[in-house]
């Protein structure tokens, strides 16, 4: 799929602070993969769980004007950046709390998360709150490269546990699939095809891998995309 022809979108339209973000390659690829199977222009309500600085929803808005986007985040500093840089009044960024999604039962058409699953202690609870917040036939697209099958994960995990304010949990791909399946989702998985260049940064690149080429190779092999679909009937019982 050529995203430029489909949506009059081009990478050059994006601000430098987005394209220079190390998450950009994953945001753009994640959105594009969802557009390959969904007509996102018809979707009114979009959720970004663990939105960080809000880049994904801003990109989504440039590809298909958002009617109602909600980004949830724990980090206050990232929330401030997200609200400062938001491109559309229809996009809201809020601090995530335990009861936040209870207000949005059967509300969202599609939900996204970029490398968030490994930070969640109670994945069963997370799968249920996303399930309940989606409309019948809604989708949750979630990327994960931080899993135990990734040979670079142990290095990255220890660095996160030492330096970050959040914890890094060990999940296998099958474990994640089983949890969401038991919740009621139909579960699909593929490698995430990358549409853009990996961004080189001396500090960031070394924190993930030994060098840039190794990072690109392992990312292409181990960055996974889950597609969780909420069926209108329970087929998993």
Q: Check which CATH number belongs to the domain holding 64 and give it.
A: 3.40.50.150
Give residue 18's pLDDT: 58
Q: Which of 114, 119, 236 is nearest to 178 (CA)?
A: 236
* Arithmetic mean of pLDDT, 133-139: 96
- Residue 235 domain-assigned? no
- Residue 206 domain-assigned? yes
Give residue 1's pLDDT: 40
- Residue 234 domain-assigned? no
- Residue 219 domain-assigned? yes
pLDDT digits (tens, 9 = 90+) for 180-197: 999 999 999 999 998 877
Give residue 148's pLDDT: 95
CA–CA separation, 83 and 81 (whole Å): 6
232 pLDDT more than 60: yes
Q: Count of H helices and E strands in the chain?
A: 10, 7
For the chain, give the mean pLDDT: 87
CA–CA separation, 13 and 43 (whole Å): 22
Instruction: Count CA within 13 A, CB hemisphere, residue 231.
Output: 14
- Residue 237 domain-assigned? no
Name the token pair of 216.
Answer: 């690109």
The band of 142, judged by pLDDT with boundaries at 50, 70 and 90, is very high
CA–CA separation, 73 and 50 (whole Å): 5
pLDDT digits (tens, 9 = 90+) for 24-51: 889 999 999 999 988 877 888 999 999 9
12 pLDDT more than 70: no
Q: What total number of domains does the chain contain?
A: 1
Beta-bridge partners for 225: 143, 190
Beta-bridge partners for 227: 141, 188
CA–CA separation, 134 and 45 (whole Å): 9
The pTM (predicted TM-score) of the whole model is 0.89
Show the domain range for 27: 3-229
């Amino acid at each position: 799929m050529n995203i430029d022809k489909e949506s009059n979108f081009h990478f050059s339209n994006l601000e430098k602070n987005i394209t220079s973000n190390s998450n950009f390659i994953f945001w753009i690829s994640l959105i594009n993969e969802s557009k390959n199977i969904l007509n996102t222009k018809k979707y009114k309500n979009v959720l970004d769980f663990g939105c960080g600085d809000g880049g994904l929803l801003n990109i989504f808005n440039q590809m298909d004007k958002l009617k109602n986007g909600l980004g949830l985040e724990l980090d206050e500093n990232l929330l401030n950046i997200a609200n400062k840089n938001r491109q559309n009044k229809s996009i809201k960024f809020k601090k995530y709390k335990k009861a936040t999604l209870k207000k949005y039962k059967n509300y969202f058409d599609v939900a996204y998360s970029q490398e968030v699953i490994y930070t969640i202690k109670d994945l069963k609870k997370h799968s249920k709150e996303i399930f309940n917040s989606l409309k019948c036939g809604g989708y949750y697209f979630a990327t994960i490269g931080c899993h135990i099958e990734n040979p670079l994960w142990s290095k990255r995990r220890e660095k996160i546990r030492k330096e970050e304010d959040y914890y890094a949990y060990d999940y296998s791909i099958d474990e994640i699939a089983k949890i969401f399946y038991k919740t009621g989702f139909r579960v699909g998985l593929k490698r995430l095809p990358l549409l853009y260049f990996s961004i080189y940064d001396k500090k960031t690149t070394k924190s993930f891998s030994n060098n840039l080429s190794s990072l690109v190779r392992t990312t292409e092999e181990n960055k996974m995309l889950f597609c969780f679909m909420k069926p209108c009937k329970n087929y998993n019982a």
